[in-house]
Amino acid sequence: MTFHRYVALGDSFTEGVGDPDETRPNGLRGWADRVAEQLAKNNPDFGYANLAIRGRLLQQVIDEQVEEALALNPDLITISAGGNDTIRPGANPDNIAAKLGEALERLRSGGATVVVFTGVDVGFSKVFSRIRGLVAIQNENIRLEAARTGAIVADLWALKSIQNPKMWDEDRLHLAPLGHQAVAAMVLRTLGVPHDLEDPEPPAVQPLPWRKEKMEDIAWAKDHLFPWVMRRIRHQSSGDNVSPKLPTPVPPLPPSTDE
């Protein structure tokens, strides 16, 4: 398939948090940039916009990004939203998926190919394994909404390579560069688009001595968990004062020369 205008919607996952690149807007690359780079090959009129902002809840993505995306007249849209809702206490997977389904219906009304993501199988994660069942229920609802609206499902739950702590950033919440690359390759496969991205193998995870593991957990809580809790208490978001990295379609930047 050949696409000419791609717009990415979502939160930190789609903005590219965990995959730093100082040469790019917001200092991030991410899986969506990687997808755009591949779609732009031999496609001189290709344009890419990324409206995602870290910390956004599903309703914020809908309110701030859906109509903006449609106004750009894309023929390809990706949307990954609801993850920040899911990790909050009292999350309702039925309500999240139903709201996402309404967004899919609206996005599909413009005739674009729309890709929606399931949640990751978090059984490997010390931080999020307790919500694995909730994510599984939500995923089944997302599949139903995708089938109803004609959206394509990019199945993060089935992407085994990212079920490995080494594929994630030190904050344990966002993918590291290898994880973003694995997602990009999966999205391109899902779309049936030929590409030359290597599908990375997850690094081996070596068991840590008990004391070192506990020290790392304490450092993580101090550096990442405590600030997250304080933002919730103060009704703040990591995305406050952050703008979309690419609000209008542009040719994607080429990959770095070391790839």
CATH of the domain at 226: 3.40.50.1110
Identify whether 258 is part of a domain.
no
Q: What confidence tens digit (pLDDT) does each residue in 21-46 have?
A: 999 999 999 999 999 999 999 899 99
Q: What confidence tens digit (pLDDT) does each residue in 175-188 have?
A: 999 999 999 999 99
Q: What's the structural domain count of the chain?
A: 1
Looking at every residue in the chain, the average pLDDT score rounds to 90
Identify whether 256 is part of a domain.
no
Question: How far, in Å, CA of 249 to CA of 7, rounded?
Answer: 8
CA proximity to 120, closest of 111, 109, 129, 112 = 129
Question: 168 is in which domain, residue-wise?
Answer: 5-250
Identify whether 255 is part of a domain.
no
Torsion (CA) 72, 148, 146, 136 in degrees, nearest 10: 150
pLDDT given at position 43: 92
Identify whether 145 is part of a domain.
yes
Average pLDDT over residues 119-134: 91
Average pLDDT over residues 83-99: 93
Give the side-chain half-sphere CA count within 13 A for 119. Answer: 29
Identify whether 9 is part of a domain.
yes
pLDDT given at position 255: 80
If pLDDT is split at 50, 70 and 90, which confidence band does 113 have? very high
Q: Is the per-residue pLDDT at 259 higher than 60?
A: no
pLDDT given at position 1: 74
Identify whether 199 is part of a domain.
yes
For the ranges 134-138, 166-170, 253-257, the maximum mean pLDDT occurs at 134-138
Q: Is the per-residue pLDDT at 98 higher than 80?
A: yes
pLDDT given at position 121: 96
If pLDDT is split at 50, 70 and 90, which confidence band does 229 have? low
pLDDT given at position 124: 87
Question: How far, in Å, CA of 254 to CA of 52, rounded?
Answer: 20
Output the CA angle 107-113-114, nearest 5 degrees: 50
Identify whether 257 is part of a domain.
no
Output the CA angle 244-60-56, nearest 5 degrees: 60
pLDDT given at position 49: 98
Identify whether 80 is part of a domain.
yes
For the full predicted model, state whether its pTM sits above 0.85: yes
CA proximity to 37, closest of 200, 167, 201, 188 = 188
pLDDT given at position 257: 53
pLDDT given at position 225: 64
